[in-house]
A and B are shown apart, each in its own frame.
Chain A
Amino acid sequence: MAFANSDYNMRKGVTDISHSVYELHMTIFLICCVIGLVVFSIMFWALIRHRKSKGAVAAQFHESTKVEIIWTAIPFIILILMAIPATKTLIAMEDTSKADITIKVTGSQWKWHYEYLGHDVDFFSVMSTPMSQINNEESKSETYLLDVDNRLVIPTHKKVRFLMTSDDVIHSWWVPDFAVKKDANPGFINEAWTNVNEEGIYRGQCAELCGKDHGFMPVVVEAISPEAFDTWLEEQKRAKEVAAQEAEALLSQTLSKAELMSEGESVYMAYCAACHQPTGMGLPGVFPGLVNNEVVKGDLSKHIDILLNGRPGTAMQAFAKQLSVKQIAAVITYKRNSWGNDTGEVVQPNQVQAFIDNNKEE
């Protein structure tokens, strides 16, 4: 179809399912067009021919059981004809059995977390479009709002099953090219699947209103060949080991305040600024400000605790699994020495690690 993958029609997509959804959409659209054309042609014919100004005299009929039965029955038959392919496609879509690989997708405000079950690989995926583009300070890139730091990588020609859930509010994971849209509900797990035919990068967005930055929560999936995927998975595992070793080595080092502050600023802008704002002022009544905040200026261990474990019952997330020990140390240092918070304190990664170890023992 000429309209496929255009900017004004549904995308045909790259899976068998997305193709059948597209065909279904076009079929029903065309049926509606034909019905509309017939009905409105008759109506406009009447409007033109049966005008009072042309001397039309009203007829007297006002009911006909036969006609009424006919125009109740015909739509009914058309509906049955529509329902048959729709049912077939739906049954195929809901068959999540015999998956080759399972990925757990967890939404949280406002990022996605992907976990390759059974492979010990997991990572967060956050929008990478800079604020300067959103605020019109620099020109917008081609993939404006549709780019992330870590793409979800999946193999082509394999049945990939997704398990969807959420850590806070309801999100919805959507990739138009796969015809997959499924809500991520907190406390529950939903299933969906895809089997991608073509390699490429596919972009979507969160589709369920999930708070302030709902519009800034893209989904980016890279489909690569199964061989390349296996290599990628191995690389990820190795990278994870290296990172663990580096973190271990870091614990014996003492970092300079300047280094922590610059690292802390970049972590803050990526993970904290959406709520607490780049100025640290927060949004009064919604997200607390950090300037002269009693936690930020007060007891260090409480500050570390809230960052690691979050505040249950509020939008404050637990960052223990999202950030490294070094990043947490850096961002705490940054917060305690910015926007007029002049505690002068420098927090080292080993202090954060010590806090974690102490609380494990309890």
Chain B
Amino acid sequence: MSTQVHSAEHAHDEHPTGIKRWLFTTNHKEIGSLYLIFSLVMFLIGGAMAMIIRAELFQPGLQLVDPHFFNQMTTVHGLIMVFGAVMPAFTGLANWMIPMMIGAPDMALPRMNNWSFWILPFAFAILLASLFMEGGGPAFGWTFYAPLSTTYSNDNTALFVFAVHIMGISSIMGAINVIVTIVNLRAPGMTWMKLPLFVWTWLITAFLLIAVMPVLAGAVTMVLTDKYFGTSFFDAAGGGDPVMFQHIFWFFGHPEVYIMILPAFGIISTIVPTFSRKKLFGYSSMVYATSSIAFLSFIVWAHHMFTTGMPLAGELFFMYATMLISVPTGVKVFNWVATMWRGSISFEIPMMFSIAFIVLFTLGGFSGLMLAITPADFQYHDTYFVVAHFHYVLVTGAVFSIMAAVYYWLPKWTGHMYCITTAKWHFWMSMISVNILFFPMHFVGLAGMPRRIPDYALQFADFNAIISIGGFAFGLSQLIFVWCVYKCAKGGESVPDKVWDGAEGLEWEVPSPAPLHTFSTPPEVK
């Protein structure tokens, strides 16, 4: 904190201590940390559920859990990872970094910021508690297709709907905060086309969130009234249509998957130039590509539903629109490669995660393109090929980018350099095990293994054993990450303000560790 602080502000700065400090905080850095710690806890809980799934699937036959509990695990694993791990992690990064990147003193709406974080633990407490109710928690898949989630589920549906509403409110408030901050609190001279790409991608993500979270809220509300209040939105017997549920859900669901990857693009576009010591290639085309992807995400939703029985014209439209997404996505990958080309490259931990991201996310992109081809999708749909696809884009995509971001900015947050050896172990263990985990899923999927089954035919046994071993290794590797971050928070070698020699951006102009209040006076942007 600087000496310029006035006495009135000084009184304002007096902090409650202990738990109250965290409960009442309106500081973007503290809330950012809360989000990140929360998402790490959720990542471990969701990961533990994945371990149960993989343990059951290690061998054919039922060994550990009954099919009903297995379905609860796949469902809650998905919900926790999407809404509890990936989304809050990005929001945490946005909280920490956006004000520092645009030279703002804090987020624009600090009290709402506090509120949007603190309702989250309650949402997930409700969701997780439903696992212990009579009949267990949600067992209808994270996509909660009606009528499985209405007529054919037990009362966990009510708790599930309530929890999703709270998560949605939290996301919307977070998104409003991001938009208002970026639009209003940019330092003088920080014009739109000077915004760091992480800020750009988050701005677009925030608009996606505001557009689709209400749609999700509508979907869960209709599920609730169908189950409890006699409506028939999704029940043909009362004039409704179960397929309409899927249209509404995926109208939310497809932009949602871009909500989970656009900030990742921003992170990679920040890290790759730093360690190539060269400006990002095609900055403006990156902005336009991100915007096109966001736009296209609204007109491709039915590619999740090719087998539901659509008219030929619908199938063709959604196939073509989906294929188009690979154009702007390709532009991004080419730009990253061009940034590295004739750079001066070094391989620090964030760079290693970023390179892994580029290769493995692109692999997920290729399987995505294959899935877009409707006739082939009839064969891939609802098999492990799809499971492989979305885990490549979400784990080696979104999650790897979050880890890259943490390794990139952690020294700025804590003022210490983490143990490079530990971080390298984490990287290589994760990198190897994640491919043992997800790559063979392509093969079992193509060979015909449906997803969401607790037991499988014998021809899938060998691959499933390998997948499970990869799963346990990947899960355990994340404990190295926890250890590495914990050690770094506790202490370590001090770092200079500009941690990485090739880094650019306002966040490197503030001291390390970043003090609680930065840019109380706006910096000047050249």
Contacts and interface: CB of A to CB of B under 8 A. Distances in A.
13 contacts: A11-B447, A21-B379, A32-B370, A50-B340, A62-B282, A62-B283, A63-B283, A83-B320, A136-B62, A182-B309, A188-B243, A209-B452, A211-B139
A285 interface: yes
B136 interface: yes
Contacts of A187: 235-237, 241-242
Interface string B77-117: 00000000000000000000000000000000000000000
A161 B284 CA distance: 52
Interface stretch (B1-9, B146-154, B168-176, B389-397): B146-154
A173 to B, nearest CB: 9
Interface of A: 6-11, 20-21, 24-25, 28-29, 32, 35-36, 39-40, 42-43, 46-47, 50-53, 56-64, 67-68, 71-72, 75-76, 79, 82-83, 86-87, 89-91, 93-94, 109, 133-136, 140, 142-146, 164, 168-170, 172, 174, 176, 179-183, 185-188, 190-191, 203-216, 283-286, 313-315
Contacts of B370: 25, 28-29, 32
B344 interface: yes
B369 A50 contact: no
B340 A93 contact: no
Contact of B148 (A6, A46, A190, A211): A211
A7 to B, nearest CB: 5
Given A94-B315, A170-B145, A28 B376 contact: yes
A133 B455 CA distance: 11
Nearest to A286: B135
A178 B285 CA distance: 44
Interface of B: 60-63, 67-68, 71, 133-136, 139-141, 145, 147-148, 151-152, 154-155, 235-237, 241-243, 276-285, 307-309, 312, 315-316, 319-320, 323-324, 326-327, 330-331, 333-334, 337-346, 355, 358-359, 362-363, 366, 369-370, 373-376, 378-379, 381-383, 443-444, 446-448, 450, 452-460, 463
A209 B319 contact: no
A82 B323 contact: yes
B68 A24 contact: no
Given A7-B447, A51-B346, A53-B346, A285 B155 contact: yes
A62 B312 contact: no
Given A32-B366, A72-B327, A136-B62, A214 B452 contact: yes
B152 A211 contact: yes
A25 B379 contact: yes
A94 B62 contact: no
B26 to A, nearest CB: 38
Nearest to B68: A212
A39 B316 contact: no
B93 to A, nearest CB: 25
A170 B242 contact: yes
A188 B309 contact: yes
Given A56-B344, A134-B455, A182-B307, A28 B152 contact: no
A93 B330 contact: no
Contacts of A51: 344-346
